[in-house]
């Protein structure tokens, strides 16, 4: 009964009359904003939106503002804006706008650790806007809702940070950063990976730590495009460098799905974005330690955003702003087909096609592409070149990707310090 009432309340807010909007937006501006959203160019989206506010109706100001707040990691403000929009301007919203708003609302609830609300939003999208989402998106919603339902009774993740903290890191045999994570009296070594949408753990470790494993039948798509089954486990409390986290959830994968026997490499798991983001700001130094200030510094680079649950970073290349997945767990930078599309002629005139392999949880696959040298990128006030960057000319897993590549440690390690401000959507290198 409570569930039915909640859905009725949502429906009332969604389809209520609202207040008519007297101002009409400039159609050319709307077309530009919609195109930038379609190609996931959130950095230009924010800039274009800010420059054209006076050409937008109140409805469109709130609509695009809600989407921008979401991608620049202001989930609470995004949901407040969505609430105002649905309450005051529902009459001027198209079905496609409502669909996007509820998908944004879903992501906001996930980023706020409000999993029961995320499940409700996902179910509402599937029940009311199925015709507006292609089969792939619906399949993702149907897959992910298994997690939100399994977590619906779990309290929100909490962080207790009473002072500045220092977290030592070590590099493993393939050069990835690992940190010590304490679960009560047991301390384990896990990857520190901003590119992991969620924290991950192998099944054998979850059992050793006596964590309760809940079957979710959720499927994860690895970087190779292979799908592997996952369940979930909740760590009631864990500690990293003296910072305490409560109610942290892990995806639980079979040990073989985080193993690379070809190179004798095995992973216990990874601390992912939801835990790392909660720190507000991290400063990763060249001497392999992370400094977490109790009070974050305010930055204004606005070059860090979220695409769904994936961190992304803006990097300048030959005067253009490129979009990269931001994966500190990647030892090297790689380039995607979008880069090939944008710079096809100079690439083909300079380089020969090669074959190379790529590996992740789930296996190793072979690809055809190019190896680019002297790739000069600028992030905020920093600039450097990286060599031997692999360029994929076909989408991994067959899914189209609007990003230019994946940002790796071959850029990061050339600087003494990397600062990531999750609170102020900024990344810089010193």
Q: What is the pLDDT of residues 21-58, one digit of tens each?
A: 668 999 999 999 999 999 999 999 999 999 999 999 99
Which element (helix H / strand E) includes 146?
helix 135-150
Q: How far apart are the first and last CA of the chain?
A: 56
The distance from CA 17 to its chain's CA centroid, rounded to whole angstroms, is 35
CATH architecture of 2-150: Alpha Horseshoe (1.25)
CA distance linking residue 124 with residue 184, whole number of Å:
39
Bridge partners of 249, per DSSP, are: 234
Residues of the chain above pLDDT 70, percent: 90
Strands (E), 344-387: 354-360, 363-372, 375-379, 382-386
- Residue 405 CA to residue 412 CA, distance in Å, equals 15
Q: What is the mean pLDDT of residues 2-20?
A: 38
Instruction: Report the length, in residues, of the chain.
Output: 430
Higher pLDDT, 208 or 400: 208
Report how far residue 345's alpha carbon sits from residue 357's, in angstroms, rounded to the nearest whole number. 24
**Domain limits of the chain?**
2-150, 158-292, 304-429
Q: Classify residue 211 by its DSSP letter.
A: P
State the helix-helix crossing angle for 58-71 and 75-88, rounded to 10 degrees.
160
> Would the CATH topology of 158-292 be identical to that of 304-429?
yes
- Residue 315, CA distances (Å) to 76, 277, 282, 388, 395 in order: 27, 21, 19, 18, 21
Cβ atoms of residues 392 and 365 within 8 Å? no
- Name the band, by pLDDT with cuts 50, 70 and 90, for residue 6: very low
Rounded Cα–Cα distance for residues 217 and 71 (Å) = 28
| pLDDT at site 331 | 79
- What phi, psi does 297 have (nearest 5°)? -85, 145
Q: What is the DSSP letter of 399?
A: -
How far apart CA 186 and CA 208 sit, in angstroms, is 9
Q: CA–CA separation, 58 vs 63, rounded Å?
A: 9
- 228, 250, 271, 368 from 363: Cα distances, Å: 10, 21, 21, 17
DSSP string, 147-187: HHHHTTTSPPPEEE--S-EEEE-EE-TTS-EEEEEEETTEE
Q: By CB neighbour count within 10 A (0-12 exposed, 13-18 middle, 19+ buried), where does 71 fall?
A: buried
CATH superfamily of 304-429: Acid Proteases (2.40.70.10)
Structure letter (DSSP) for residue 53? G
Instruction: Give me the mean pLDDT over the 382-399 stretch.
Output: 86
- Tens of pLDDT, residues 248-274: 999 999 998 888 888 888 899 999 999
List, for residues 83-123, the tens digit of each pLDDT value: 999 999 999 999 999 999 999 999 999 999 999 999 999 99
Q: Would you say the pTM of this structure is higher than 0.85? A: yes
Q: Which residue do the tokens 């009631």 mark? A: 236
Residue 99 DSSP label: H
Which helix (H) or strand (E) element contains residue 31?
helix 27-38
Q: Show the tokens assigned to 56.
A: 């937008």
Give the pLDDT mean for 373-397. Answer: 91
Q: What does the pLDDT look like over 122-157, one tens digit per residue?
A: 999 999 999 999 998 999 999 999 999 999 999 999
| Architecture label for domain 158-292 | Beta Barrel (2.40)
Residue 396's SS3 state is helix
State the pairing for strand pair 269-271/186-192: parallel
The rounded distance, in Å, linking the Cα atoms of 280 and 165 is 12
């Amino acid at each position: 009964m409570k569930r039915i009432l909640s859905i009725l309340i949502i429906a009332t807010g969604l389809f209520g009359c609202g207040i008519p909007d007297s101002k009409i937006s400039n159609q050319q501006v709307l077309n530009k904003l919609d195109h930038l959203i379609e190609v996931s160019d959130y950095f230009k989206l924010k800039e274009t939106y800010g420059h054209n506010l006076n050409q937008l109706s109140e409805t469109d100001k709130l609509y695009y503002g809600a989407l921008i707040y979401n991608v620049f990691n202001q989930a609470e403000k995004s949901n407040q804006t969505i609430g105002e929009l649905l309450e005051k301007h529902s009459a001027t919203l198209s079905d496609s706008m409502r669909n996007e708003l509820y998908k944004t609302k879903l992501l906001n609830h996930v980023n706020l650790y409000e999993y029961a609300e995320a499940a409700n939003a996902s179910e509402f999208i599937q029940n009311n806007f199925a015709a507006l989402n292609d089969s792939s998106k619906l399949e993702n919603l149907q897959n992910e809702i298994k997690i939100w339902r399994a977590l619906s009774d779990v309290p929100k993740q909490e962080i207790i940070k009473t002072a500045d903290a220092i977290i030592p890191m070590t590099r493993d045999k393939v050069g990835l950063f690992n940190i010590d994570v304490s679960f009560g009296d047991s301390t384990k070594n896990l990857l520190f990976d901003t590119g992991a949408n969620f924290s991950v753990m192998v099944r054998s470790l979850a059992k050793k730590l006596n964590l309760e494993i809940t079957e979710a039948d959720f499927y994860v798509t690895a970087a190779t495009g292979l799908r592997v089954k996952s369940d979930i486990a909740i760590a009631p409390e864990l500690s990293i460098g003296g910072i305490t986290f409560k109610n942290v959830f892990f995806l639980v994968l079979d040990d073989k799905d985080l193993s690379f026997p070809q190179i004798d490499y095995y992973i216990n798991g990874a601390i992912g974005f939801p835990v790392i983001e909660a720190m507000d700001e991290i400063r990763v130094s060249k001497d392999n330690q992370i400094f977490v200030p109790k009070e974050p510094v305010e930055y204004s680079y606005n070059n860090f955003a979220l695409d769904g649950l994936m961190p992304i970073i803006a990097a300048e290349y030959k005067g253009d702003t490129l979009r990269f997945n931001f994966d500190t767990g990647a030892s090297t930078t790689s380039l995607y087909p979008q880069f090939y599309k944008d710079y096809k002629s100079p690439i083909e005139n300079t380089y020969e096609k090669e074959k190379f392999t790529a590996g992740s949880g789930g296996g190793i696959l072979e690809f055809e592409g190019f190896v680019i040298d002297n790739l000069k990128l600028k992030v905020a006030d920093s600039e450097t070149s990286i060599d031997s960057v692999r360029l994929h000319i076909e989408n991994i897993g067959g899914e189209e990707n609007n990003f230019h590549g994946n940002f790796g440690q071959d850029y990061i390690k050339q600087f003494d310090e990397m600062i990531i401000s999750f609170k102020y959507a900024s990344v810089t290198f010193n």
